[in-house]
Amino acid sequence: MKKILAVALLDWRRLAFGLVPAALIAGLIPSLSDGIGEPIQVGSVLVALFVLVGAACGGYFGTDFAEGRSSFFFARPLPTRALITGRATALLALAGVAFLAFMASNWISSTEANWTAWILEKRHAYALVIAWSVSLFVSLGIAARARDSRGRSGMRDALVIPLRLSASIVAFFLMFGLFADLVLRAYAESFRPIELFLWSWAIASVVASFVAIAWGRTERLRIARLQSLVMGVHFVLVSLVVASAWSYVLHPGPEAIEKVVAWGSASADGRTALVATVVNRGDGKTPVPIFVLDIVAGRAVRLNADKHDGPWASADGSTVVWSEATPFFFRPLWRRLGGETTFRVRSASGEIRPLPMPNRAPDYRTARDLSRYGGVINWVLPAPDGDSFAILWDRHLTFTSRTRGELSDTPFGGSDRPYVRRTALFRPSGDFRIAVGRRDAAGAQSLEFVDIEPRSGALKVLFSMKAENLGLVLFDSTGDRALVTSGYQPGRVGSILLVDLSGSPGEVKTTTLPGEVFFPTARFITDGRIVVSGRSALAAPYETSLTVLSPDGKPVLSIPTPLGYSGYMGAEMFPGVVAMTSGAPEVATTLVDTTTGKVLRQIPGLRSQNALMGSPPPGSATARLLQSVDGKLYELPSLDAPPRLLLPLTRR
C-alpha cells in the first residue's frame, strides 16, 4: 500500500497543480454560458473535465516511457501491479478533487447550482476511463515507436511497411463494414452492440498498455511489439465475433421466426407467399427478415432481401423482385461481382436472375445507400409473364424486359407534373395502367388514371377527377374498373366511387356507391361483385356493416355483422366468402357468405388481413391466412377445417 500511495503521490504532485485550476474554471462555464444565452449543461462540462483528467493522467503514464524515465520505476523495488494500481489511484484521486473543485466553483458562480443533485452519471465514468485508457495507449505507443521508427530504413521496410499498413487498413475496414452492417440492419434500436464494441477496444487498449508495461518494461521495441500483439489478437477475436454475429443474426433460418408481422401476395398454387417476420435475433425490432412461405408444404425459406427495397410481387404472385440484402459498405463491390445490380428477380420456375435495370439508373452509388429508404429504385412491378417490369426510379418510369432489355423510359413525377403512385397493374393486353394522385399549384388534389404503352412509353390520360381526402384506389383484376375510396378522417362520412375504365377515354363512367359509413373500405370479389364495409354513420353504436353490390354498383344485400365498433373487412377467403374481423372485446374472425348473407363460421382468436393493409388476390392462398394476436400465422384450408399453424414452425 505504501508503494502504491508513493506512486499515486508522484502523479498527484505533477498534475494537481494544473487540473484543480482547470476544474475551477470549468465550474464557471455553465453560468457564463447562461449569461450569453447559450446554456451548456453542467453534466456536459463535467464530461469534458473528466476527459481532461483521464487524458492527462493516461498521457503522463505513457510519457514517462517516452522520456526514458521508466527505469525510475522499474529499477526500484516496485512491483508492476503497484505501479499500475498507483497510477489508477492517482487518476481516481485527481478526478475526485477535480469534481469537488468544479462543483464548488459552479455553486459559487450560479444561483441555480444544486449540491444535493446527484449529478454524476455513467457517462462521466465512461469519459474518465476511456480518456485514460486511450491516452495511455496512444502516448505509450508513440513513446515506444518514436525512436524505433527513426532507426529503420532500407528497401525492405519501404515495401513491407506500406504493405502491412495497407493490409491492416483493409482488414479493419472489412471488419468495421461488417459491424456497421450488423448494427444498421439488426440493432438500429439498441446501442448495446455499439457499446460492447467500443468497450472491447477500450479494454483491449488498457490490457495492451498493461501487458506492454509489465513485460516490456524499459525496452521500447518490446513495448511496441507487445502493444501490437495484444491489439492484433483483439482485432482477430473481434473480427471473428463480428463475422459470426453478422452471419448468425442477419441470416436466420425459419426456425428463428417468432412472429409474423405482415404477409403479401402468393402465387396461385400457394407455394410462394411472402411473409415479414420478427426473429429471435437482433434487437427484436430492426431486423424484419422476409421468408418465402410454401403454404401447401408448410415450409419457409428466407429471402435474402433488403427490407427497404421491396420485395414486390406480380399481381398473380408468381414473380418476385427484391434487392439483395448485401452489406451496405461493400454494396458497390457486391454489385460488380453479382452482375451490376443488387436487384433480383425470382420467376415462377424458381430461377433467380438480376433484374434488368434501366440503362441510366445509378442503382447504388450515392449516400442514400445508407439511408433508411435505400437507393434510388422506388418501386418495381413485375408483369405476370415474368418478363417485363415497370420500374419507378428518380422521377422516371422505365419498362425493362429480361429478354429485350430496356423498352422505354418516361419522365414521371417531375416538378411540372408531380405524381404520387396509388395503384398500378399490367393489363392482360400487356399495357400498363396506373392511378396517380396529383396536387396542383393551388394545392387542389386530383386523381388521374393513366395508360402507358411499355414498348414506346406513350402516355395517355384516361380520366381525371377531383379527389380530396383520398383513401384507397383499387383496380379489379383486369384494370377495367376501379374503386376510389375517400373519407379516412374521424367524424367524416366517406364515399366510394366506382370508375368504369373499360371504354375509351371519353366514355369513362363513374358511379357513387350508396351508403353513409365512417372509414369505408371496398373491394372487388371473385365474381366481379363489390363489397363495402364501414362503421354505420346512422346511429350509435356505429357498428360495422357489410354491403354487397352488383358489378355495376347497385346494392344487392345488406348484411348485419356482429362485429361491434372495432370490426373491419378482411380478405375474400373463399370465393364469395368474406372475412370480417372484430378487435374487441376479443379478436375473432367471422366468415360471411356474400350470396346468402349468412354467417358461415366464427374463428375466435384469429384475424384476417385488413383490407386497408393489403389486398391479397380474392380466394388466393394468401387470402386464407389468419394471424393470432401473438403473431402466429395460420392457414384455413377449407371452410370446415380447423386453422393450421404455419409459422412459427412447430418442432417435428
Partner 1 sequence: MTDESVVRVENLSVRYDRNLVLDQVSINVARGSVFALLGRNGAGKSSLMRCLLGLQKPTSGHVLLFGEDVWRHRARLVSRAAYVPENSDAPGRLRVRDVVAFHESMYPAWDRAAVQARLARVGVPDSASMSSLSKGQRALCTLALALGSRPELLVLDDPTLGLDVVARNDFFSDFIGELAERGTTVILTTHDLAGVEGIADRVGILQGSHLALDEEVERLKVERGQSLEQIFTDITRGPGRQS
By C-beta, is 14 or 438 nearer to partner 1?
14
Q: How far apart are CA 43 and CA 25, in angstroms?
A: 15
Residue from 90, 74, 98 nearest 14 by CA: 90
Question: Residue 89 Cβ, how far from partner 1 at the closest point, in Å?
Answer: 13
DSSP 8-state assignment for residue 513: P
Q: Which of 14, 395, 509, 644 binds partner 1 (CB under 8 A)?
A: 14
Question: Residue 80 Cβ, how far from partner 1 at the closest point, in Å?
Answer: 8
Record the cell numbers describing residue 486, joined without a space.
Answer: 375517400
| 3: contact with partner 1 by CB under 8 A | yes
Residue from 328, 177, 164, 161 nearest 239 by CA: 177
Q: Which of 9, 28, 142, 174 binds partner 1 (CB under 8 A)?
A: 9
Piece of 71-79, 252-260, 350-358, 620-628 that binds partner 1 (CB under 8 A): 71-79
Is residue 335 within 8 Å of 364, Cβ to Cβ?
yes
Question: Residue 282 Cβ, how far from partner 1 at the closest point, in Å?
Answer: 46
| 268: contact with partner 1 by CB under 8 A | no
Residue from 407, 190, 161, 179 nearest 285 by CA: 190
Question: Residue 13 Cβ, how far from partner 1 at the closest point, in Å?
Answer: 5
Q: How far apart are CA 454 and CA 408, in angstroms?
A: 6
DSSP run (H or E) holding 439? strand 432-439
By C-beta, is 9 or 104 nearer to partner 1?
9
By C-beta, is 73 or 291 nearer to partner 1?
73
CA distances from 295 to 292, 345, 571, 579, 623 (A): 9, 21, 17, 19, 11
| 78: contact with partner 1 by CB under 8 A | yes
The residues in 557-616 that bind partner 1, with binding defined as CB under 8 A, are none
Is residue 576 within 8 Å of 592, Cβ to Cβ?
no
The residues in 512-531 that bind partner 1, with binding defined as CB under 8 A, are none
| 5: contact with partner 1 by CB under 8 A | yes
Question: Residue 105 Cβ, how far from partner 1 at the closest point, in Å?
Answer: 25
Question: Residue 51 Cβ, how far from partner 1 at the closest point, in Å?
Answer: 22
Q: How far apart are CA 172 and CA 183, in angstroms?
A: 16
Identify any residues that bridge with 510 across adjacent strands, giving them in sequence order: 499
By C-beta, is 64 or 324 nearer to partner 1?
64
Phi, psi of 351 (to 5 degrees): -70, 140
| 21: contact with partner 1 by CB under 8 A | no
Record the cell numbers describing residue 35, joined without a space.
Answer: 449569461
Record the cell numbers describing residue 383, joined without a space.
Answer: 408483369
Task: State the pairing for strand pair 405-411/396-401.
Answer: antiparallel
Query: How many positions of this chain bind partner 1 (CB under 8 A)?
Result: 30
Question: Residue 228 Cβ, how far from partner 1 at the closest point, in Å?
Answer: 14
Determine the residue type at 442.
Answer: A
Piece of 61-69, 291-299, 384-392, 634-642 that binds partner 1 (CB under 8 A): 61-69
Is residue 265 within 8 Å of 425, Cβ to Cβ?
no
Residue from 423, 420, 387 nearest 405 by CA: 387
| 64: contact with partner 1 by CB under 8 A | yes
Q: Which of 50, 57, 59, 70 binds partner 1 (CB under 8 A)?
A: 70
Question: Residue 74 Cβ, how far from partner 1 at the closest point, in Å?
Answer: 5
| 347: contact with partner 1 by CB under 8 A | no
| 85: contact with partner 1 by CB under 8 A | no
The residues in 182-241 that bind partner 1, with binding defined as CB under 8 A, are 215, 217-219, 221-222
Q: Which of 21, 39, 41, 72 binds partner 1 (CB under 8 A)?
A: 72
By C-beta, is 7 or 113 nearer to partner 1?
7
CA distances from 649 to 253, 454, 505 (A): 11, 42, 51
Q: Which of 21, 35, 39, 68 binds partner 1 (CB under 8 A)?
A: 68
Is residue 425 within 8 Å of 433, Cβ to Cβ?
yes
Is residue 621 within 8 Å of 613, Cβ to Cβ?
no
Q: Please report where in the chains the cell 485527481 appears, as a residue.
A: 94
| 411: contact with partner 1 by CB under 8 A | no
Q: Which of 76, 164, 353, 439 binds partner 1 (CB under 8 A)?
A: 76
Question: Residue 149 Cβ, how far from partner 1 at the closest point, in Å?
Answer: 11
CA distances from 214 to 65, 211, 222, 232 (A): 12, 5, 11, 18
Task: State the pairing for strand pair 299-303/577-582.
Answer: unpaired
Distance of CA 229 to the CA centre of its chain: 37
By C-beta, is 214 or 243 nearer to partner 1?
214
Q: Which of 36, 38, 77, 640 binds partner 1 (CB under 8 A)?
A: 77
Chain contacts with partner 1 (rule: CB under 8 A)? 2-3, 5-7, 9-10, 13-14, 64, 67-72, 74-80, 152, 215, 217-219, 221-222
